[in-house]
Amino acid sequence: MRNRPVPQSRKFDFFKAIACIALFAAGAIAARAQTADQAWLREPSHLVLFGKVIALGNSPIEQSAVKELSRSISHPASIKDASMLRAWHENWLTVIGTAEEVRKAYPHAPVPSGLAPGEYWIWSNGSNEHSLYVVAGGDERGALYGVFALLRYPLSGMTSPPEKLPSLHAQPLRSRPAMPIRWTDEWDNANGTVERGYGGRSIFFEGGKVRDDLSAVGEYARLLASVGINGCNVNNVNGAAPFLTPEMLQGLKRIADAMRPWGVRLAISVDIASPQKIGGLKTFDPLDPAVQAWWAAKVDEIYAQIPDFAGFTVKADSEGQAGPASYGRSPADAANLLAHALAPHGGVVLYRAFVYNNHLDYNDLKADRARAAYDIFHPLDGKFAANVIVQIKYGPIDFQAREPVSPLFAGLEKTNSAMELQITQEYTGQQRHLVYLAPMWKQILDFDLRADNRSTPVKEIIEGKSFHRPLGGMIGVSCVGRDGWLGAPLAMANLYAFGRLAWDPYNLPEQIAEEWTRQTINNDPHVVYVVAKMLMQSWPAYVDYTGPLGTQTLTDITGSHYGPNIEASERNGWGQWHRDDAQGIGMDRSVATGTGFAGQYPPEVAKMYESPATTPDDLLLFFHHVPYTYKLHSGETVIQYFYDSHYQGADEAAQLVAEWKTVRAMVDPKLYNDVLGRLEYQAGHAIVWRDAIVQYFLKESGIPDAKGRAGHYPGRMEAEDARLSGYKVIEVTPWEDASGGKAVTCDAGSAPKGCSAEWTYAGKAGHFDIAVQYFDQQGGVAHFSLDVNGKAIATWDADAKLPSRRPNGDNSTRFTTSEVELKPGDVLRVDGTPNASDPAALDYIEIEPAASAR
């Protein structure tokens, strides 16, 4: 062994080689079916650097850890010199095990005492001749998390070159999860659809049962484990009764088996009415002994097949789901019913506080959906069993682009609580828009509720610290699917960030963004800088062009939850109101004159939100109804802020495109083009949002934009003003989703060869970008072409997958062609050919000086 070549300065080489491999990864975005490679766990690994890798125990989790370090032994990035490889193998040893196993096998390794479950400690003996790396865990999961941390170490939060990182001998790595519950919730249905999922069909279910091929489930569990997620609830909280049938339980057992090697425990959503719906009982009253016996037997049946089953999630008395209210019982009665059945097996109940009446009276100025969770759950504080955790959405409404923190976090001092976040971007652009949510989550985690007039930031409440609760955590509604997990490559940063914040809510979103970029895209400093910057800009930009000042996302809340639709939130029972009228906007939630919601916060916070003068601008309209002329702390009026923020937000979205273009030469071309297409679409849709909101409030308030932009669109030529052949003018609903409220549409029946719209250009001669705004409706692929003086300039298909079969802000889409030469008198023509139910509807064209001429 001694006379074999031994690498020089191995400590340095260790990190250099890792850096090398990470750089090599730049061009290697794999396109294979549904593997973790499509996220941040890429093929290159570092086996040669760790020499021989062994597990001290036999558990499948430790075997996974070994596999993870060994994954790419044959990868071309591995050191190619065979003798050097052999030397490494023989002189370096990496051992993985629980603290107890390590102490037994290596009594000299200074394993610290008291490693907690999930905690890891990584150390090296510092020897040049016989290097030993130790990855010790508080339990097997801890050892696995340690391996992922070791692989990430040279890339994470790196501000200095890898070779300057401290040695693991002098400074062992040690970290423990901040909270015990770190789960994702998936809203998968047995038929294979995923509620609010934008990443394709279910990886778990198809055709009413568990899929035969669960390889993607194992890969998903690997991804989750890599960021410390330890539980996964696989089915929708709506319509959950079929998931407790014996046949389904057999399938669920297979899912649990696929996730177990990665330390991810299976949980399921249950319908509290199951005893009646599938159990043949006449009742599901939580206090009925027959119901209690049914649940006890059902839980025994589950644990007989899935001994490490994590527990149940419950949505009850909410949005049509049955609940204990049917029998005059409380959420605590229902939660405890399940908790008692689960307790002997070590399972928990995540009872969702998302309980509210969706038939509120809009005309009742005291009615307020935001109040519901606190009104219902606060009086029950202390009445929940020890293995119940109340799962609270971060805000009092429903995953809006911005909401205040739910006051219920401070309203449960004697009850375990956990925070529910949404990774899938239901109200935040549905993965078609780049919106990195970690900065919003961080604001929520850091928000100090000042319960009992002391420091009680949300993160410390859900960690269990503030009120000395044994259980707590974070749940991310993920809704992954078979199409690259979340359907868009950069959206994966949200899943990653969720795990990293659940592990440690003190982690910083910008650092997480860098860390994710290094692992997913590459380690080039410019790429890391640009992508992290883009991620960090994306949420504020989205808030700016959708719903600023706490109005929530001004979208179609009863339908798609996607495009602009300002009045959809109003005059219905759903309570997502912002109460705009000709004079002003906002919900008065003060105690003195409004719904009293502000009074649900602990006194210091309640006082801040009680008055418009002390409410932060970014939540003003959530708490107060004010005139459009009300002056913000910034000195601007509310209406001017609306105009400014929407123009700014749309500009920021355009900026994302420009920034991404700067990394072109440094990233995988397939990824580059994919992301570019998405960002260009987003920039166009941000203009749809901007124009809808700006023209709506211009009309509503009658107050002009001091900067002269709202209602004035130089270079825009409306389709309804064009010389039309075949096209018919229509009113668009809602009106604000089309420029001037109108569009033109082509009826295939009366114009089988298609329709056209023609304009004569009357501006200056020069080079221009021409944008065509059209509606890409569902149900067909319309075809468009643009020509100038009969010469074809561009053709394209309306083939995006967007919501709605009607023309509106969900599917209003912008096609832009650059550097077109125009002179006065030129004739521009758009031809639209309908296909199936897509009538090639058109809104306007807009001519802007080309980028080169600006």
Q: Supply the residues annotated as catalytic.
A: 319, 398, 426
Could you say which residues in the range 417-456 bind ligand GCV, by CB under 6 A?
A: 426
Tell me the Ramachandran region of residue 248: left when phi exceeds 0, alpha when psi lies from -120 to 50, beta otherwise. Answer: alpha
Which span (235-243, 250-258, 334-342, 694-702) binds ligand GCV, by CB under 6 A?
A: 235-243
Q: Say which amino acid occupies 418.
A: A
* Helical H segments across 463-597, by residue range: 492-503, 509-520, 525-545
Where does this chain touch ligand GCV (CB under 6 A) — which range of 34-42, 147-155, 231-239, 510-518? 231-239
**Contact (CB, 8 A) for 743 and 843:** yes
Whether the Cβ atoms of residue 481 and residue 488 lie closer than 8 Å to each other: no
Here's the x/- map for ligand GCV, 141-180, by CB under 6 A: it reads as ----------------------------------------
Q: Where are the beta strands (DSSP E) in 236-333?
A: 265-270, 311-314
Closer residue to ligand GCV (CB): 622 or 660: 622
Among 70, 156, 175, 238, binds ligand GCV (CB under 6 A): 238
CB 395, min distance to ligand GCV, A: 12
Nearer to ligand GCV, 107 or 320 (CB): 320
Residue closer to ligand GCV (CB basis): 55 or 475: 475
Q: How far is the CB of 538 from ligand GCV (least distance, A)?
A: 22
Q: Residue 267: beta bridge partners?
A: 233, 311
CB of 321 to ligand GCV, least distance (A): 8
C-beta of 352: minimal distance to ligand GCV in Å?
A: 7
Q: Which is nearer to ligand GCV, 182 or 315 (CB)?
A: 315
202 versus 236: smaller Cβ distance to ligand GCV = 236
Instruction: Using the minimum distance from each CB to ligand GCV, give the nearer residue, 315 or 329.
Output: 315
CB-nearer residue toward ligand GCV: 236 or 615:
236
CA distance 363 to 494: 38
Pick from 119, 398, 580, 610 the residue near ligand GCV by CB under 6 A.
Answer: 398
Cα–Cα distance list, 49 to 19, 21, 61, 626 (Å): 12, 11, 22, 63
Specify the stretch interacting with ligand GCV by CB under 6 A; choose among 68-76, 236-244, 578-586, 777-785. 236-244
Q: How far apart are CA 546 and CA 23, in angstroms?
A: 38
Stretch that binds ligand GCV, among 67-75, 232-240, 496-504, 670-678 (CB under 6 A): 232-240
- Beta carbons of 231 and 183 less than 8 angstroms apart: yes
Name the token pair of 437: 């949510």
Question: Least distance from C-beta 316 to ligand GCV, angstroms?
Answer: 10
CB 559: neighbour CB atoms within 10 A? 14
CA-based nearest residue to 263, from 70, 118, 470, 151: 118
Out of 196, 253, 631, 699, the only residue in the binding site for ligand GCV (CB under 6 A) is 196
Q: Interface mask (CB under 6 A) for ligand GCV, residues 342-381, using x and -? A: ------------x---------------------------
Contact 143, 61 (CB under 8 A): yes
Question: Between residues 238 and 283, which has the closer beta carbon with respect to ligand GCV?
Answer: 238
Show the tokens assigned to 756: 């056209």
Work out which of 13, 195, 446, 721 binds ligand GCV, going by CB under 6 A.
Answer: 195
Question: Distances from the Cα of 204 to the Cαs of 179, 235, 347, 473, 823, in angstroms?
Answer: 27, 9, 22, 24, 58
- Contacts with 218 (C-beta within 8 Å, 6 or more apart), sequence order: 258, 259, 261, 262
Nearest-approach distance from CB 802 to ligand GCV, in angstroms: 18
Main-chain dihedrals φ then ψ at residue 794, nearest 5 degrees: -160, 150
317 binds ligand GCV (CB under 6 A): no
- Taking the complex as a whole, how short is the minimal distance between the CB of residue 659 and ligand GCV, in angstroms? 32
- Nearer to ligand GCV (CB atom), residue 119 or residue 398: 398
- With 0-12 / 13-18 / 19 or more C-beta atoms within 10 angstroms meaning exposed / middle / buried, residue 790 is exposed
Task: Give backbone dihedrals phi and psi of 340, rounded to 5 degrees, phi first.
Answer: -65, -35
Distance CA 597, CA 609 (A): 9
Number of residues binding to ligand GCV, judged by CB under 6 A: 11
Interface with ligand GCV by CB under 6 A: which range of 167-175, 233-241, 258-266, 327-335? Answer: 233-241
In three-state secondary structure terms, 680 is helix
Q: What would the two tokens of residue 355 be? A: 């309980």
DSSP single-letter state for residue 796 = E
Is residue 14 a contact residue for ligand GCV (CB under 6 A)?
A: no
**315 part of the interface to ligand GCV, by CB under 6 A:** yes
Give me 702's structure tokens: 């009658």
Stretch that binds ligand GCV, among 234-242, 510-518, 620-628, 684-692 (CB under 6 A): 234-242
Number of H helices, E strands in the chain: 22, 28
Q: How far is the CB of 462 from ligand GCV (least distance, A)?
A: 18
Nearest approach, Cβ of residue 576 and ligand GCV (Å): 10
Tokens of 752: 């089988």
Candidates 57-65, 230-238, 286-294, 795-803: pick the segment binding ligand GCV (CB under 6 A). 230-238
Nearer of residues 139 and 317 to ligand GCV, judged by Cβ: 317
The DSSP call for residue 741 is G
Nearer to ligand GCV, 64 or 321 (CB): 321
State which residue, 556 or 838, has the beta carbon closest to ligand GCV: 556
Among positions 120, 187, 496, 641, the unique one binding ligand GCV when judged by CB under 6 A = 187
Q: How far apart are CA 694 and CA 696, in angstroms?
A: 5
For the bound state, the minimum distance from the C-beta of residue 557 to ligand GCV, rounded and expressed in Å, comes to: 9
Q: Is 237 in the site for ligand GCV (CB under 6 A)?
A: yes
Kindly give the pairing relationship between strand 92-98 and strand 52-55: parallel
Q: Rounded to an integer, what distance in angstroms lies between the CA atom of residue 734 and that of residue 526?
A: 43
Cα–Cα distance for residue pair 630/158, rounded to 1 Å: 45
Tokens of 735: 């009106």
Nearest distance, CB of residue 195 and ligand GCV, angstroms: 5
Residue with tokens 């009445």, as numbered in its chain: 383
State the nearest-atom distance from the C-beta of 325 to ligand GCV, in Å: 16
| Mask for 273-312, x = binds ligand GCV (CB under 6 A) | ----------------------------------------
* Residue 67, token pair as written in the block: 């596999």
Radius of gyration, CA atoms only, the chain: 29
175 vs 238, beta carbon nearer ligand GCV:
238
* Structure tokens that stand for 182 in this block: 């770190």
Among the listed residues 838, 843, 514, the one whose alpha carbon sits nearest the alpha carbon of residue 688: 843
Q: Which of residues 667-686 bind ligand GCV (CB under 6 A)?
A: none
- Structure tokens given for 676: 């570019």
CB of 426 to ligand GCV, least distance (A): 6
Q: What share of the chain is helix, strand, coil (3-state, %, to 5)?
A: 35, 20, 45
First vs last C-alpha separation in the chain: 68
Which residues does 364 contact at the CB level (< 8 Å), separation at least 6? none
Interface residues with ligand GCV (CB under 6 A) are: 187, 195-196, 236-238, 315, 319, 354, 398, 426
